[in-house]
Amino acid sequence: MDVFNQLIYDFAAWVDTHQWSTALHESFYVYNWIESTHVVALTLSLGMLFLIDLRMLGLAMADIPASTLARRLSLPMFLGFTVMIITGLLLFYAIPVRSAQSLWLRIKLVLLFAAAINAWLFHRRLRTAGQSWDTAVKAPVRLQVGASLSITLWVLIVICGRLIAYDWFDCRAEPSSFIATLAGCIADQEQF
Amino acid sequence: MRTIRLLALMLLPLAALYSWQAKGHHAFSAEFDKEAPVSLEGVVTKVEWINPHAWIHLDVTGGDGSTVAWMVEGGTPNTLLRGGVNKNSVPIGTSIKVRGYQAKDKRCAPACKANGRDLTFSDGRKVFMGSSGTGAPKDGSDPRDRR
């Protein structure tokens, strides 16, 4: 874990030396625009995703065939995801070291990984499930499980994202050694 | 029936979020103590003019001659610029007076932390250095506060 944390820290400290990273960090408008765009894109992508998930659970637009709904909503959903990922990376680029050592961002990335696997499994099940249930109110149970997991994971991801703003577990606040290891704090590191 | 269920399902996280927000939505109450106002007079040692919050570091000399390091959080570079200060307004070595509220975390490591409300220069010029709408006490320092 220490080697891993050191690698992450070295990478983040290297990013921090970039002129553009500093410019973004000190900018009067661009940082704020990126931050707002990240949140607006989130409402688009998760709005679409949750509608698809709720349709699978029979809780939204049950009179529309599930495959039709999923097909129509996935373009705006992926558009939102793309903007969200780009702006998210830029937010990291602006404040690399503190972000890399954020306990919340680390939890968020694990949850994002889980959500990605869940989405991949969901689409595989969707392909193999056939069309027989398409007009039924609820999707097959396996798809319902995936849809519920998707909603739960994304709610947690958004909460973790919001909590990155708070400094309770920042390395500067000298958290317990367990938290410090999870957050990736390096002993006697330079303060950023 | 389905509509009612959907409505309930959508309201549930909203209710949970509301109770959570009441505690932690505002950056102010999550990190700073409204019962601990501070008035700091000191010399600027470092300035971080960064998003999402600027930080002014200053050394405050107490009555007994000992020096305490403080770091005071301000608004964004943008709100500070609109308020009338930029990075060059507070060069290292400037004597300033800051009114604000101390952090809930009072360990003062590596420096005592506070949320800045207003900043007074030695020539008497006073500017609001916080952000509006953070839930900080309405103490008259924010010109946008409605009474």
Q: Does residue A20 lie in a domain region?
A: yes
pLDDT at B21: 45
Q: How far does CA A30 lie from the centroid of its chain? A: 21
Q: Does residue A140 lie in a domain region?
A: yes
Mean pLDDT of chain A: 94
Helix, strand, or coil here: A184?
Answer: coil
pLDDT at B14: 63
With cut-offs at 50, 70 and 90, classify the pLDDT of residue A27. very high
Most confidently predicted of A21-25, A124-128, B105-109: A21-25
Lowest mean pLDDT among A50-54, B11-15, B26-30: B11-15
pLDDT at B23: 40
Q: What is the pLDDT of residues A172-192, one digit of tens each?
A: 888 899 999 999 999 888 776
Provide the CB-side half-sphere exposure for A141 (13 A, CA): 0
Question: Which chain B residues touch A32 with a CB distance below 8 Å?
Answer: 51, 76, 78
Q: What is the pLDDT of residues B47-97, one digit of tens each?
A: 999 999 999 999 999 888 899 999 999 999 999 999 899 989 999 999 999
Inter-chain residue contact A59 with B6, CB threshold 8 Å: yes
DSSP string over A7-60: HHHHHHHHHHT-HHHHHHHT-SSHHHHHHHHHHHHHHHHHHHHHHHHHHHTTSS
With cut-offs at 50, 70 and 90, classify the pLDDT of residue A131. confident
The whole-angstrom distance between A184's CA and the closest CA on chain B is: 18
Judged by a CB distance cut-off of 8 A, whether residue B70 touches chain A is no
For residue A67, what are the β-bridge partners? Answer: none
Q: Does residue A190 lie in a domain region?
A: no
Question: Which chain B residues touch A94 with a CB distance below 8 Å?
Answer: 51
Position B108: which residue type? C
CA distances from B96 to A189, B65, B105 (A): 30, 18, 24
Q: Which long-range contacts (CB under 8 A, 24 or more apart) does B121-127 make?
A: B121/B89, B121/B94, B121/B96, B122/B94, B122/B95, B122/B96, B127/B83, B127/B84, B127/B85
pLDDT at B137: 87
State which residues form the domain around A30: 2-183
The whole-angstrom distance between B12's CA and the closest CA on chain A is: 12
Higher pLDDT, A178 or B12: A178
pLDDT at B133: 79
Considering chain B, what percentage of its residues have pLDDT values greater than 70? 83
Where in chain B are the domains?
Answer: 27-128
Question: What number is the ipTM of this complex?
Answer: 0.81
Question: Which chain A residues touch B50 with a CB distance below 8 Å?
Answer: 25-26, 95
Q: Which of B6, B31, B76 has the CB atom closest to A167's CB atom? A: B31
Spatial contact of A99 and A12, defined as CB atoms under 8 Å apart: yes
The total domain count for chain A is 1
In angstroms, rounded to a whole number, what is the distance separating the alpha carbons of residues B99 and B40?
6
Token pair in block for residue B104: 């809930």
Query: Which CATH code of 2.40.50.140, 3.40.710.10, 3.40.1390.30, 3.40.50.2000 fits the domain covering B27-128?
Result: 2.40.50.140
Q: Which of A29, A60, A168 has the CB atom closest to B78's CB atom? A: A29
